[in-house]
């Protein structure tokens, strides 16, 4: 789950992670008021779940999603150009993202740009801090070109972040005196935030040292552990569904795992590994998968019906492959769900169904007796070949 | 011989009174598994299916029945605690089926489990393991978790996989080729888990009954690469493999919490390359896993 910059700032403020003053606004009027509170040295930033805002362009032709402003009136004018408009950046895709909020912040005079991130590292099974003197750049490029500019510091899972580690990181980043102390405090507070909110990633890029010697988090990207959202009510409430694919939003309402892709052969599968493998074999057989969809192990008839409807609601879909290997999943439940869904929305697309496993004989029987226009397949290769052929016909 | 469990293993099930745990406890019993105890705090003294005693604690269950393996069907908020309770009670093997445990909980559990070096954890978010029996439709073996029993057959192929249903595909292909499985181990789809591909390859390598191995992985992390590097130097048995997720977009979590390509790392291509480099024959599609195994065995 992602959040906006202004929400990241709320979390920073809560945990004492120093960042420039800023306020969110939903109307040009609110933006002007926020600017009046902040005073001078103003910047306005479009709030979207994507980077590259500064260099982006609005569909209206207005250039740039980040602007320095000379006055509250200027802030209001820029806000008018941004709010309700669609911003396209190199990370949004050509369709861009609708801007419904802006953040008005204090712009700071930057002396140095650094990089600081905490990631839950699966290889060492602990949080790992990545700090770099090359801030404001793509960290993957830095890791590739100048890896010596990055320090990786693991945090012991039981003991947590130690003050000596803060001093070590500050020294690596070329900070001393009051700046080192401020940085150490920022790192500690950010680590506490990382744990408290069940984050999988917090990336501060850039972490700046200002000309007046302050150490501030200028921008932040947060990712949260989806498995922990049940115990993170504040974070869960920060979800912005307008930033998500509407098909994925619909799927999540039924606790389905769905990811939309660009192809035209939809699939409905039980089990994430098998669902990925089904996408792979569709591609291998000359087709293009339209989605990843795992109905899981305990899917009810209602969930299967919902999954089917989401698939049928995608205009790109020209054919459907259902691949079920029933372990916990009962093949007859799938069959009943397919029949119910088709009866509700109607079916005019080719449908290939491959069932195997728990209660398969009954499932196949139920499908055969339904009178539905579908093609049965016995194994995966057969199923993929059949659906690719069916949509080409 | 098989690995980890066989028809003599005594199993207890934590969460046996939940609908999910109960359903699979029954399927395991039907398969001939020695499910000797259940544990649900507060329900001690009851009987499951009129035959399996339920206890309030794992310790009590172990003491009264001699169970050495625990299967965990406990919901995510309580599963980490359930794992540690089982370790504390002295079981040899814990198999955690639960999906959805927060990764920080597993980080802490793994750190504490270092105090119990004789206890192995498999999972979480895994389908469990099966050592097939020698009876009708492989009845009489040990089925821990949620796999369908009938697809198995006792034989010489060891299978280790992160997936559930994709594993059943491989098992079914092997059975239909007239071969059988020594043990099938589902290590699960989470990024921090108890047992890796490498851990299981080592066990298969030393198991007299296992003649060849199938290794199934997916995008995310670098465990397949580590296993492949070890296999190149040390594995005496032929290995066939498959990696799911060649068509997965980067940065997205594909169902499994651990199935994510991150910072360019953990791609299917990189894993397949590492496996081929190690002499592992890689199936290009999931439909060819069995056929690829045959090629590897005939090499």
CATH fold of B153-298: Rossmann fold (3.40.50)
Task: Count CB neighbours of A106 within 10 A.
Answer: 17
What token pair was written down for B281?
């024959």
- Show residues of chain A in contact with B219, CB under 8 Å: 276
Burial letters B132-166, b for 16+ CB under 10 A, else e: bbeeeebbebbbbbbbbbbbbbbbbbbbbbbbbbb
- Which one of B225, B255, B261 would you mutate to disrupt binding with A, by most A Cβ within 10 Å of its Cβ? B255
Is residue A299 scored above 70 in pLDDT?
A: no
Domains B10-122 and B153-298 share a fold: yes
Q: Do A122 and B216 touch (CB under 8 A)?
A: no
- In sequence order, the β-bridge partners of residue B11 are B35, B69
Length of chain A: 393
Flag whether residue B98 sits within 8 Å of chain A, measured between CB atoms. Answer: no
* A357 vs B148, B252, B253: nearest CB: B148
Alpha carbon separation from A261 to A252, A267, B8 (Å, rounded): 16, 11, 47
Token look-up 């920022």 returns A186
The residue among A329, A323, A319 whose CA lies nearest residue A373 is: A319
The Cα–Cα gap between A54 and A8 comes to: 18
The whole-angstrom distance between A192's CA and the closest CA on chain B is: 13
User: A78-124, pLDDT tens digit by residue?
Assistant: 999 999 999 999 888 888 999 999 999 999 999 999 999 999 999 99
Extended beta strands in chain A, E state: 22-25, 42-46, 57-58, 66-69, 86-88, 97-98, 102-106, 110-121, 126-132, 150-154, 199-210, 215-217, 220-224, 257-260, 265-269, 291-294, 319-326, 351-357, 375-377
Please tell me the predicted confidence (pLDDT) of residue A195.
Answer: 97
Please tell me the predicted confidence (pLDDT) of residue A155.
Answer: 97
- Show residues of chain B in contact with A279, CB under 8 Å: 247-248
- Show residues of chain B in contact with A281, CB under 8 Å: 285-287
Split at pLDDT 50, 70, 90, the class of A265 is: very high
User: B212-269, pLDDT tens digit by residue?
Assistant: 999 999 999 999 999 999 999 999 999 999 999 999 998 888 989 899 888 788 999 9
* A326 vs B148, B161, B255: nearest CB: B148
Identify the closest residue of chain A to B247 by CA–CA distance. A280
- Show residues of chain A in contact with B108, CB under 8 Å: 157-158
Please tell me the predicted confidence (pLDDT) of residue B212.
Answer: 98
Identify the closest residue of chain A to B100 by CA–CA distance. A227
Is residue A327 scored above 80 in pLDDT?
A: no
Identify the closest residue of chain A to B127 by CA–CA distance. A327
Q: Do A380 and B263 touch (CB under 8 A)?
A: no
The Cα–Cα gap between B189 and B171 comes to: 18
Which of A240-249, A290-299, A377-386, B273-282 has the lowest average pLDDT? Answer: A290-299
- Show residues of chain A in contact with B248, CB under 8 Å: 276, 279, 292
Flag whether residue B172 sits within 8 Å of chain A, measured between CB atoms. Answer: yes
Torsion sign over Cα B82, A270, A299, B168: negative
- Show residues of chain A in contact with B151, CB under 8 Å: 357
* A358 vs B148, B249, B259: nearest CB: B148
Top pLDDT among A257 and A191 is at: A191
Split at pLDDT 50, 70, 90, the class of A298 is: low
Q: Do B111 and A327 touch (CB under 8 A)?
A: no
Q: What is the mean pLDDT of residues B82-103?
A: 98
Active site residue A203: yes
Q: What is the mean pLDDT of residues B108-125?
A: 97
Please tell me the predicted confidence (pLDDT) of residue A313.
Answer: 83
Please tell me the predicted confidence (pLDDT) of residue B206.
Answer: 98
- Show residues of chain A in contact with B111, CB under 8 Å: 125, 157-158
% pLDDT > 90, chain A? 70
User: Could you please report the per-residue DSSP string of chain B?
Assistant: --SS--TT-EEEEETTTSHHHHHHHHHHHHHT-EEEEEE-TT-TT-EETTTEEEESSHHHHHHHH---EEEE---HHHHHHHHHHHHHTT-SEEEE------HHHHHHHHHHHTT-TT-EEE-SS--EEEE--SSGGGTTSEEEES--GGG--EEEEEEEES-SHHHHHHHHHHHHTT--EEEEEE--S-SS-S--HHHHHHHHHT-TT--EEEEEEESSSSHHHHHHHHHHHH--S-EEEEEE-TTPPTT---SSTT---BTTBS-HHHHHHHHHHTT-EE-SSGGGHHHHHHHHHH-
| Cis peptide bond prior to B124, omega within 30° of 0 | yes
Is residue B7 scored above 70 in pLDDT?
A: yes
Q: What is the mean pLDDT of residues A298-321?
A: 84
The Cα–Cα gap between A320 and A293 comes to: 12
Q: Do A228 and B104 touch (CB under 8 A)?
A: yes
Q: Do A272 and B259 touch (CB under 8 A)?
A: yes
Please tell me the predicted confidence (pLDDT) of residue A331.
Answer: 86
Please tell me the predicted confidence (pLDDT) of residue B140.
Answer: 94
Please tell me the predicted confidence (pLDDT) of residue A309.
Answer: 85
What token pair was written down for A180?
């080192």
- Show residues of chain A in contact with B264, CB under 8 Å: 140
Q: What are phi and psi of B249, to 5 degrees?
A: -75, 145
Please tell me the predicted confidence (pLDDT) of residue A345.
Answer: 75
The Cα–Cα gap between B183 and B160 comes to: 9
What token pair was written down for A354?
């491959």
Class of domain B10-122: alpha beta
Flag whether residue B258 sits within 8 Å of chain A, measured between CB atoms. Answer: yes
The Cα–Cα gap between B230 and B227 comes to: 5
- Contacts across the A-B interface (CB distance below 8 Å): 170
What radius of gyration, in Å, describes the C-alpha atoms of chain B? 18
% pLDDT > 70, chain A? 98
- Which one of B165, B192, B243 would you mutate to disrupt binding with A, by most A Cβ within 10 Å of its Cβ? B165
Average pLDDT taken over every residue of chain A: 92
* B20 vs A120, A278, A298: nearest CB: A298
Token look-up 């899972």 returns A157
Of A36, A113, A153, A203, the catalytic one is A203
* B285 vs A281, A294, A357: nearest CB: A281
Q: What is the mean pLDDT of residues B69-86?
A: 98
Identify the closest residue of chain B to A288 by CA–CA distance. B247
Is residue B174 scored above 80 in pLDDT?
A: yes
> Exposed, middle or buried: residue A334 (CB in 10 Å: 0-12, 13-18, 19+)?
buried
Return the DSSP state at A63.
B
Q: Do B287 and A384 touch (CB under 8 A)?
A: yes
Q: Phi-psi bin for A359: left (phi > 0), alpha (psi -120 to 50), beta?
A: left
The residue among B108, B60, B69 whose CA lies nearest residue B87 is: B69
Is residue A329 scored above 80 in pLDDT?
A: no
The whole-angstrom distance between B47's CA and the closest CA on chain A is: 24
Please tell me the predicted confidence (pLDDT) of residue A328.
Answer: 64
* B285 vs A198, A328, A381: nearest CB: A381
Residues 6+ apart with CB under 8 A from A257: A251, A272, A275, A292, A293, A294, A296, B255
Q: Write down the domain spans for chain B.
A: 10-122, 153-298
Split at pLDDT 50, 70, 90, the class of A343 is: confident
Q: What are phi and psi of B173, to 5 degrees?
A: -65, -45
Q: Do B246 and A278 touch (CB under 8 A)?
A: no
Q: Decide if B144 contacts B116 (C-beta within 8 A).
A: no
By DSSP bridging, strand A86-88 and strand A57-58 are antiparallel
Please tell me the predicted confidence (pLDDT) of residue B251.
Answer: 85
């Amino acid at each position: 789950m992602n959040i906006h910059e202004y929400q990241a700032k709320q979390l920073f403020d809560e945990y004492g992670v120093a960042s420039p003053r800023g306020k969110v606004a939903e109307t040009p009027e609110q933006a002007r008021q926020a600017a009046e509170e902040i005073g001078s040295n103003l910047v306005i930033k479009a709030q979207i779940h994507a980077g590259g805002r500064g260099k982006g362009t609005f569909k209206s032709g207005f250039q740039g999603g980040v602007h320095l402003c000379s006055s509250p009136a200027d802030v209001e004018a820029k806000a008018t150009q941004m709010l309700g408009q669609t911003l396209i950046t190199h990370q949004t895709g050509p369709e861009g993202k609708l801007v419904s909020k802006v953040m008005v912040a204090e712009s700071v005079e930057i002396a140095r740009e650094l990089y600081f991130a905490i990631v839950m590292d699966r290889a060492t099974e602990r949080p790992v801090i990545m700090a770099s003197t090359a801030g404001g750049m793509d960290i993957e490029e830095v890791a590739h070109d100048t890896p010596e500019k990055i320090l990786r510091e693991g945090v012991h899972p039981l003991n947590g972040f130690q003050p000596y580690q803060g001093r070590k990181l500050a020294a690596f980043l070329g900070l001393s005196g009051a700046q080192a102390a401020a940085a150490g405090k920022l790192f500690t507070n950010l680590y506490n935030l990382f744990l408290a909110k069940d984050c999988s990633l917090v990336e501060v890029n850039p972490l700046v040292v200002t000309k007046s010697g302050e150490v501030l988090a200028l921008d932040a990207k947060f990712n949260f552990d989806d498995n922990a959202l049940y115990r993170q009510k504040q974070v869960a409430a920060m979800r912005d569904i307008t930033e998500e694919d509407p098909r994925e939003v619909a799927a999540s309402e039924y606790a389905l795992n769905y990811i939309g892709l660009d192809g035209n052969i939809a699939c409905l599968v039980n089990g994430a590994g098998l669902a990925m493998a089904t996408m792979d074999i569709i591609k291998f057989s000359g087709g293009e998968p339209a989605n990843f969809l795992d109905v899981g192990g305990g899917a009810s008839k209602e969930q299967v019906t919902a999954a089917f409807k989401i698939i049928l609601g995608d205009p790109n879909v020209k054919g459907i492959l259902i691949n079920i290997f029933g372990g916990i999943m009962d093949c007859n439940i799938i069959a009943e769900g397919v029949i119910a869904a088709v009866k509700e929305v109607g079916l005019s697309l080719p449908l290939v169904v491959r069932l195997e496993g728990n209660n398969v004989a009954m499932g196949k029987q139920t499908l055969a007796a339904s009178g539905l226009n579908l093609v049965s397949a016995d194994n995966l290769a057969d199923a993929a070949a059949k659906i690719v052929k069916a949509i080409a016909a | 011989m098989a690995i980890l469990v066989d028809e003599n293993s005594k199993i207890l099930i934590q969460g046996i009174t939940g609908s999910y745990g109960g359903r699979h406890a029954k399927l395991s019993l039907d398969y001939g598994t020695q499910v000797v105890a259940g544990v649900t705090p507060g329900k001690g003294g009851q009987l499951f299916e009129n035959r399996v005693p339920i206890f309030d604690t794992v310790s009590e269950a172990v003491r009264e029945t001699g169970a050495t393996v625990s299967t965990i069907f406990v919901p995510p908020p309580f599963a980490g605690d359930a794992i540690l309770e089982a370790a504390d009670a002295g079981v040899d093997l814990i198999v955690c089926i639960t999906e959805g445990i927060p990764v920080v909980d597993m980080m802490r559990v793994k750190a504490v489990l270092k105090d119990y070096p004789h206890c192995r954890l498999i999972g979480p978010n895994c389908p469990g393991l099966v050592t097939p029996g020698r009876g009708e439709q492989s009845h009489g073996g040990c089925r821990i978790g949620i796999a369908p029993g009938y697809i198995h057959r006792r034989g010489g192929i060891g299978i280790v996989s992160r997936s559930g249903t994709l594993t059943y595909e491989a098992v079914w292909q092997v059975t239909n080729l007239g071969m059988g499985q020594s043990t099938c181990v589902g290590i699960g789809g989470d990024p921090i888990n108890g047992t890796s591909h490498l851990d299981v390859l080592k066990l298969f390598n030393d198991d007299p009954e296992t003649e060849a191995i199938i290794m199934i992985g997916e995008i995310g992390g670098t465990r397949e690469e580590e296993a492949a590097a070890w296999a190149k130097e040390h594995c005496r048995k032929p290995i066939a493999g498959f990696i799911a997720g060649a068509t997965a977009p980067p940065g997205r979590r594909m169902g499994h919490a651990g199935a994510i390509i991150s910072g360019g790392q953990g791609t299917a291509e990189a894993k397949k390359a590492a496996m081929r480099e190690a002499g592992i024959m890689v199936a290009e599609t999931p439909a060819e896993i069995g056929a690829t195994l045959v090629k590897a065995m005939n090499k």
